[in-house]
Structure 1
Amino acid sequence: MKILLRRVAGFAMLPGLSMLASLVLLPLIAHFDGAAGWTGMALGQSVGALVSLVGGLAWPTVGAQRIVEAEDADTRRRIFAVSLMSRGPLIALLATVALPAVWWLAAPTQRLSTACFLTATSLNGLTASWYYAGTGSPRHLVVNEGITRFAGYALAIPAVIISNSTLSYAALNLVFVIVAIGLNYRTIFGSRGMPHVGWAQVREVYQVHFLGSLARLAGSAHSYLPTSLLSATAPSVVPLFTAIDNVYKSGCNAVDFLPSALIEWMQTAETNAHRRKVVAITVCMVIASLVFFGWQLIGPALMRFLYQGVVTFGPVEILAIGASVALALLVDALELLDLVPRHGENLVFTTELVVSLAGIIAVVPMALVFGGIGAFATYAIASGVKLSIFAGQRFLESRR
């Protein structure tokens, strides 16, 4: 149990730092740049996350499982090398295409910072977190990505105060993301460098990951395109939507490490493997419940603190944020801890594709009828549908 707790704590450091930074930096951005500041940040990060998720192909879903199943360290390094060569060019292409769009949508005073947020968030698609999850090595994730992010956040706070601008945070964020990528490369490949990867291997990845890439494209579009869609079709709801959306994504980042942290521990049991799976999923269910009910207690005060009264929040918004984060965690738990280890990723990808496309179609109409909270509600509805499908499939299979 101590080993499990240390592992979870290690993987929790990075999202924990990210959430802590948001608690400090969002009020500063709201104070110095107002709604244009956090809307520009949300725009850059949302489109950048779309690039990151699409460019990351299906590696975040299936990568850790492939690392767990690898026979030796050389095989694990080759898998990661192939992932870099398949992800890197695609991320570069998508970010180049996306940059003019966010530049045009951002407020004139926020264009440069929005571009920096876009680039930094896009490069997150080159993360090694799933590799470390598969090897059960949170220490490397903490050192390479956690400490560098902490340094970036620690410098960003005084930089924003001194410069009175969001741009300093955006630029530092970009620099330290690049540093983290370099440290991961050094840790995984060492002085020997990355193994050679041929075009045939990269092409095979694109073929094998095709359905997963489509699903992640649809899922990431539903998660990160609404800000851009609403900016063009219903700009009056954007401040409320982006405020809720920022907190929701920070909450998801704070807890979505959990299923990944449990993968290697669950699958390396010599005996009682099923019991470990039950324990892992139960832990996720308990955390999801604590997140939902805890947020109902602290959410109202925290939202007032974060946005300095610029945006008004009611009980419906608080309820929606808590439910959406909890449901997203449960969906990830069933995907990574149950379906993917049983090679059920096709069900995961097909469900994600269909549900996310429906969510994208519903975003603008929901916003026009119900405002910002209507657009945001599509997240919770989509997660609820996916959870029902996954749980239903598991129940039917257990009855056979």
Structure 2
Amino acid sequence: MSRARRLTASTTAYILIPILAAVSPLLVLPAITANHGASAWASVAIGQSIGTALATVVELGWGLNGPQRVARTSEKASLRWLTLSLQTKVIALIPASAVAAVAAAFLAPSDSLTSSLVACAMTASALTATWFFLGKGTPWLILATDGLPRLVCLALSAIFLVMGAPLMTYPVLGLLLPSALAPCLALYIAAKRAPLGTKLWWRARAVISALKLQSTALFARAASAVYIALPITLVSIASPSSVAAFAAGERLMRMGLAAVAVVPNAMQAWVGAPADRQSKWSRAKRAMAANAALGFISATIFGLAAPWAVTWVFSGVVTLDPISVWLFALAIFTICTSRGTGGIGLVALTRVRAIAVSAAAGACVGIPAILLGSAWGGVPGAVAGEILAELTVLSVQVVAIRRRLAAS
């Protein structure tokens, strides 16, 4: 394939990945709310929240430092990193899925079994090899191993729900099956691309070393899960009556963030490609500016479109007030900006530990802010708590970047 054709295919894939991530939930959310109501949606949302939080633990930080690690390595060495990542993830998945199931069953307002299944399936979604293909600069393989299988499974689950299937069809067919297929397909493709004779392997010492190596990135991911993935769970504790509306806004916000993830995703390999620090940092600065600009545009679009979108996606059973809508928009801008400063800027400066510190600060601020905000102010209060957590994260990351540059 010529260079121009490869570039076109790669760019198309980078665009399609977030589009599929944003469109996929639209296939099934109306089917859930229209056929099973707001209470069922609240149970599903709580399972998603808990499962997504624990998925960040199971992911072990590979998505944070993995792409730049494999960007310049051989296919054989890259396959070893991929194998190690999946082995360590499976070890973490077993206890994490048990915790997810119990927590979701305890907090769900109805249909505890479905909520537990959703939580387990979302936890298993961490087995994806998206980070690996981003680092190798082959985004079309993300579509082949994850995006398209997940889209098909969600579409099938939506069809069955409309036809009267039980709610648990969604987590089993729409979530769990593609989560299991993704790592199998990724390993098969990566092994085919590696030199002849390269085999998948298991070495306990190597796995333990990999777990230690990922400890800093894991802490950063785990801490960030508190203010990124758990807000719905926190709201269910402090203000149960606000869960359905808050979860609807959260879902739309995360769908929007998934849609614009093309920018930081595409820039991971681009920033990590140069060997010298000066060239890498020059690219990182441009990537951070691009993320901030994208955040402003995305926030504006969300603020204008969300009132209509929430009514359509959730079948009219949930609404959002204007204040909450624009608070969610502000959260989008802040998150997009910190995606640049943290996942790109600090990683380029080899300051992953600073990302962990910023995540811990965000968690310390976010937990009480979301709990108190939702208890006193319902949905707007909860979103304000999220914004406060995200601003804390961004501030810590900016300070860390300035200190690193001043010291060099």
TM-score by length of 1: 0.91
The 10-residue stretch of structure 1 (53-62 or 204-213) with the greater mean CA deviation from structure 2: 204-213
Q: d(CA) in 2 for partners of 1:226 and 1:368?
A: 13
Q: Summarize deviations over 1:127-174 as a string: whole Å, max 9, x none.
A: 111101110011211111121112112322321210254332222112
Q: Which residue of 2 aligns with 1:76?
A: 78
Counterpart of 1:38 in structure 2 is: 41
Aligned to 1:331: 338
RMSD: 2.5
Cα offset, 1:246, TM superposition: 1.6
User: Is the Cα contact below 8 Å between 1:237 and 1:371 reproduced in 2?
Assistant: yes
Q: Counterparts of 2:325 and 2:108 in 1: how far apart (Å)? A: 27
Closer, same or farther in 2 for the Cα pair 1:266/1:187, shift >3 Å?
same
Q: Tell me, what secondary structure is at the counterpart of 2:349?
A: coil
- Does the aligned pair in 1 maintain the 2:100–2:123 contact within 8 Å? no
The answer for the alignment partner of 2:304 in structure 1 is: 297
Residue-by-residue CA offset, 1:252-294 (whole Å, 9 max, x unaligned): 2222343122121233358965554344333323321210111
Q: Is the 8 A contact 1:219 1:352 kept in 2?
A: yes
Aligned partners of 2:398 and 2:274: how far apart in 1? 24
Give the counterpart letter for 2:137 in structure 1: G
Q: Is the 8 A contact 2:46 2:115 kept in 1?
A: yes
Query: Secondary structure at the residue paired with 2:320?
Result: coil
Distance between the aligned counterparts of 1:396 and 1:180, measured in 2? 40
Give 1:288's aligned residue: 295
Q: Distance in 1 between matches of 2:383 and 2:372?
A: 12
Structure 1 runs (4+) greater than 6 angstroms displaced: 1-5
Name the structure 1 match of 2:212.
207
Is 1:55 paired with 2:35? no
SS in 2 for 1:371: helix
What TM-score does the superposition give when structure 2 sets the normalisation length? Answer: 0.89
Residues 207/276 of structure 1: CA separation in 2 closer, same or farther (3 Å cut): closer
Structure 1 distance, partners of 2:112, 2:313, is: 23
Cα shift at 1:394? 3.3
Q: Shift of residue 4 of structure 1?
A: 6.3
Q: Which residue is equivalent to 1:345?
A: 352
In structure 2, how many angstroms separate the alpha carbons of the residues matched to 1:192 and 1:372?
56
Task: Kindly report which structure 2 residues correspond to 1:7-22, keeping only aligned pairs within 5 A, or say none.
Answer: 7-22=10-25
Report 1:314-329 matches (<5 A): 314-329=321-336
- CA 1:217–1:269 in 2, change beyond 3 Å: closer, same or farther? closer
Post-superposition CA distance 1:198-223 (Å, at most 9, x none): 22222223323333323322211222
* Cα distance, 1:95 vs structure 2: 0.4
SS at match of 1:340: helix
Query: Would the aligned equivalents of 1:54 and 1:213 in 2 still touch at CA under 8 Å?
Result: yes
Q: Could you tell me how far apart the structure 1 residues matched to 2:262 and 2:254 are? A: 13
Judged with a 3 Å threshold, the aligned counterparts in structure 2 of structure 1 residues 31 and 194 are, in CA distance, closer, same or farther, namely: farther
Matched pairs, number: 398
Aligned twin of 1:259: 264
Determine the C-alpha separation between the residues in 2 that align with 1:212 and 1:103. 29
**How far apart in 1 are the matches of 2:227 and 2:307?**
26
Q: Which amino acid aligns with 2:22?
A: M
Contact 1:44 1:114 in 2 (8 A): yes
Q: Give the alignment partner of residue 100 of structure 1, picking from 99, 102, 106.
A: 102
Given candidates 310, 316, 319, the residue that maps to 1:309 is: 316
Q: Percent of aligned positions with the same letter in both sequences?
A: 22
Question: Which amino acid is the alignment partner of residue 100 of structure 2?
Answer: A
2:101·2:117 contact (CA, 8 Å) conserved in 1? no
| Contact residue 230 and residue 364 of structure 1 kept, 8 A | yes
Query: Greater shift after overlay, 135-144 or 319-328?
Result: 319-328
Q: CA shift at 1:322, angstroms? A: 1.5
Question: Offset at 1:62?
Answer: 0.7
SS state of the match for residue 381, structure 2? helix
Q: In the alignment, what sits opposite 1:113?
A: 114
Q: Is the 8 A contact 2:65 2:217 kept in 1?
A: no
Q: Equivalent residue of 1:317, what SS?
A: helix
Q: Residue 211 of structure 1 contacts residue 350 of structure 1 at CA under 8 Å; is this kept in 2? A: no
Find the counterpart in structure 2 of residue 143 from structure 1: 144
Q: Deviation of residue 53 (structure 1)?
A: 0.3
Question: What CA distance in whole angstroms lies between the structure 1 residues aligned with 2:284 and 2:8?
Answer: 16
| Structure 1 unaligned blocks of 5 or more | none
